[in-house]
Amino acid sequence: MISFTIRQMEYFEALAQVGHFGRAAAQVGVTQPALSAQIAEMEQRLDCQLFERGGRAVRLTEPGRQLQPRIERLLNELRDLGSIAQRGRSAMQGRFRLGIIPTVAPYLLPGLLPELRAHYPGLEVELREAITGTLMEETVSGRLDGFVAALPIDQPRLMWEEVFSDRFLLALPKDDPELTSPPVQPESPVLERMMLLEDGHCMREQALAVCGKVRPVAMANYSATSLTTLLHMVAHGHGVTLIPEIAAKADKAAGDLKIVPFADPSPMRRICLAWRVNSSRHDECRKLAEIIRAIAASGSAQKHGDQPDPHAGERQVAERENRAAVPKSI
Amino acid sequence: MISFTIRQMEYFEALAQVGHFGRAAAQVGVTQPALSAQIAEMEQRLDCQLFERGGRAVRLTEPGRQLQPRIERLLNELRDLGSIAQRGRSAMQGRFRLGIIPTVAPYLLPGLLPELRAHYPGLEVELREAITGTLMEETVSGRLDGFVAALPIDQPRLMWEEVFSDRFLLALPKDDPELTSPPVQPESPVLERMMLLEDGHCMREQALAVCGKVRPVAMANYSATSLTTLLHMVAHGHGVTLIPEIAAKADKAAGDLKIVPFADPSPMRRICLAWRVNSSRHDECRKLAEIIRAIAASGSAQKHGDQPDPHAGERQVAERENRAAVPKSI
DNA sequence: TCTTCCCATAATTTATTCTTATGATCAGTT
DNA sequence: AACTGATCATAAGAATAAATTATGGGAAGA
């Protein structure tokens, strides 16, 4: 395959413009033989003349004339490359591939995306909704820049910052007679009718942990694919379920339900933004975490209280907390 | 200004694809440190990371991701360059800038252009109609590839091939009573009413030469800008003029005139195709001359007889034939 | 903790490309 | 016609750039 060096093309460009070896050489800052040699090599490689010598000016031959506009365009593109790269250099610019778990996405994104678009127009957020295990794998391998999920995130190659904590509430059919006293106790028999998301969702595990000793056996094979579906099922009297506080506020389906808090210490999940420990976007991720934190504190997703129990979120998964189990179970 | 070498970009391309220094190096056929060094230099020049190391794969950073499509496009364009140049290499391809004198152009081109378009679709003929002096200057300086004009072309840096010879006839008003015997003698008093093209046209000089001793003084300030105009003026009885045989055949204005041949040896002009002696298109010019010759022999422009008098065309300019005078006088 | 894998660094060799010096050719001039 | 100045090509040596082999450090996985 025939190809030229950039230097050759620069010399070609100069010579085509100036039409004089000596002056072209001066223009590019070399001596005339240097330029001559490079042009000669180009011609030799193509096995055809690019310039017509003789007379008082050097002229392009037809092959040379074909080449000229191409070479000029190429050189100009090349000269742009530096600034192209700089464009992606400053923080909060370019494409950011963000993963979010399905039980957070619909409640966080409506607040987050407009905020990002308004403050960082140069940032293109590319979203991926998947369960924690998938997001971890994709982030570690570099297909994602970071993801939002529930703690614990236990992968030595990932690091995270907590962005908000999210209490779990109990959702019952509006006309359910069972519950009378508002704070649900962890031993309440109503938990036996708990409905779960399908396997892989961290909220499934978290719900099971809330139930504690009470086994919600009956509902095992009715597991739902999304939280909204689950809420609709509850509204139709198929059982009860756990609903995160952000969903209780934002999901329309919650309007048809009776939402009851748990007795203190309320179970909760702690949501974090996670990224690779050696990510080149470390600073951007920290900034993004800060933004999500601010949104959660004020907007569609809300941070829980002023003095969150630092251990409340871990209670329900304490017995499962070990590194090997995490990738699949969350 | 920041710029990269082609090698660097090739390494970048490979590394971005493969995500592994060692394998990328193998792919481009160098050792790993060589590739490492070039990538490092790119990053150093930009003062920003292009790849994120660590983990089992090397990933593009955001600046790197911005750069990647540009670099790939650039490399592909570069790879095309060779074939681009080859395109203009074969004969009768690309743009050919052809000059023609005004007293030939309208009669030769209708035959020539379709012929060229049919046989050499890759040839773009760019035309320039001007007087011989201009065409010579522009060809010598490289703005034209060649031109069609009347001999003599006496410029040491140009060479030419005769393509056809073209007899001069006398054009008179249709009802002009003067001439009775068909062959016009060079001493005929009718020549005193000769009308001329404006200065610079070679046919002006040629007409003057035909007149010989007879000075067409009266008509000097009525000189016309084109042969057709001249013929119209003759048709309206303003005088007589010389008409080349190709024009007599092709020009509509000739229908309104009485066309009379000269007595042997008939004056004529010899038309040639000329080009730079060191033109890169030498072969193409010779071929083009051949084509014009064929067209003249059969089509709209016709070669004169079987045995053209080799000196007939030079007779009328013999006294002016010297190098210094030619550029202006033809 | 140990091993393995992977990239960076160092020292040296090899290739490339420059510069200076000089030669050949051609256009314009004496 | 021979000279002169200009112009591009060529040659040899010097400088630069980029390759290779050898080696080191650090993170990932067993």
Find the range with the poorest average confidence among A165-174, A317-326, B172-181, B289-298: A317-326
Task: Give the nearest nucleotide to A37, CA to C1'.
Answer: D9
B132 band by pLDDT with thresholds 50, 70 and 90: very high
pLDDT at A222: 64
CB proximity under 8 Å: A 150-169 to B: 157
Cα separation, A313 vs A163, in Å, equals: 13
Task: Give the nearest nucleotide to A32, CA to C1'.
Answer: D8
Q: What's the gap between Cα A21 and its chain centre?
A: 54
Tell me whether the CATH fold assigned to A6-84 matches the one assigned to A166-261.
no
Q: What CA–CA distances, in Å, run from A263 to A200, A210, A267, B206, B275? A: 27, 12, 9, 118, 101
Domain boundaries, chain B: 6-87, 94-330
Read off the pLDDT of residues B238-264 as tens digits, 9 standing for 90 and up: 888 889 999 888 877 777 888 888 888
- Mapped onto helix, strand or coil, the DSSP state of residue A127 is strand
Is domain B94-330 annotated with CATH 3.40.50.720? no
E-strand stretches of B130-191: 146-150, 158-173
Residue A149 pLDDT more than 90?
yes
- CB pair distance less than 8 Å for B61 and A87: no
A12 band by pLDDT with thresholds 50, 70 and 90: very high
Does the N-terminal peptide bond of residue A183 adopt cis geometry, omega within 30 degrees of 0? no
Cα separation, A303 vs A270, in Å, equals: 10
Per the structure, the residue whose CA is closest to nucleotide C10 at C1' is: B33
Biggest alpha carbon–alpha carbon distance for chain B: 106
Is domain A95-164+272-298 annotated with CATH 1.10.760.10? no
- HSE on the CB side for B233, CA within 13 Å? 21
Q: Is the Cβ–Cβ distance between B287 and B92 less than 8 Å?
A: yes
Among residues B269, B82, B260, B267, the alpha carbon closest in space to that of B184 is found at B260
Q: Is B27 on the interface with A (CB under 8 A)?
A: no
Find the range with the poorest average confidence among A3-7, A253-257, B49-53, B266-270: A253-257
- B6-18 and B21-28 helices, crossing angle to 10°: 130
Q: Is the Cβ–Cβ distance between A173 and A261 less than 8 Å?
A: no
Fold of B6-87: Arc Repressor Mutant, subunit A (1.10.10)
Phi/psi at A181 (5° precision):
-85, 125
Tokens of B229: 């105009």
Q: Which residues contact A224 (CB under 8 A, 6 or more apart)?
A: A195, A196, A197, A198, A230, A233
CB proximity under 8 Å: A 33-72 to B: 45-46, 48-50, 52-55, 57, 59, 61-67, 70-71
Q: What CA–CA distances, in Å, run from B321 to A255, B100, B197, B325? A: 108, 21, 20, 7
Residue A190 pLDDT more than 80?
no
Supply the mean pLDDT for chain A: 80
Asked if residue A29 keeps its beta carbon closer than 7 A to nucleic acid strand D, the reply is no
Burial readout A191-219 (b: 16 or more C-beta within 10 A, e: otherwise): bebbbbbeebbbbbbbbbbbbeebebeeb
Assigned CATH class of A166-261: alpha beta
Find the range with the poorest average confidence among A34-43, B166-175, B204-213: B204-213
Tokens of A47: 């096995």
CATH classification code of A6-84:
1.10.10.10
Q: Could you tell me which residue, A219 or B42, shows the higher pLDDT? A: B42
Residue B315 pLDDT more than 80?
no
Burial readout A33-72 (b: 16 or more C-beta within 10 A, e: otherwise): eebbebbeebbeebebbbbbeeeeebbbbbbbbbbbebbe
Q: Is A3 on the interface with B (CB under 8 A)?
A: yes
B316 band by pLDDT with thresholds 50, 70 and 90: very low
Among residues A292, A252, A317, A228, the alpha carbon closest in space to that of A100 is found at A292
Does the N-terminal peptide bond of residue B265 adopt cis geometry, omega within 30 degrees of 0? yes
Residue A265 pLDDT more than 80?
yes
The listed range with the strongest mean pLDDT (A193-202, A227-236, B123-132) is B123-132
Read off the pLDDT of residues B58-111 as tens digits, 9 standing for 90 and up: 888 888 888 888 888 888 788 878 777 777 677 788 889 999 999 998 899 989
DSSP code at position B86: H
Asked if residue A53 keeps its beta carbon closer than 7 A to nucleic acid strand D, the reply is yes
Residue B329 pLDDT more than 60?
no
pLDDT at B213: 64
Q: Is A287 on the interface with B (CB under 8 A)?
A: no
Cα separation, B132 vs B317, in Å, equals: 15
Read off the pLDDT of residues B135-153 as tens digits, 9 standing for 90 and up: 998 888 788 899 999 988 8
- HSE on the CB side for A262, CA within 13 Å? 25
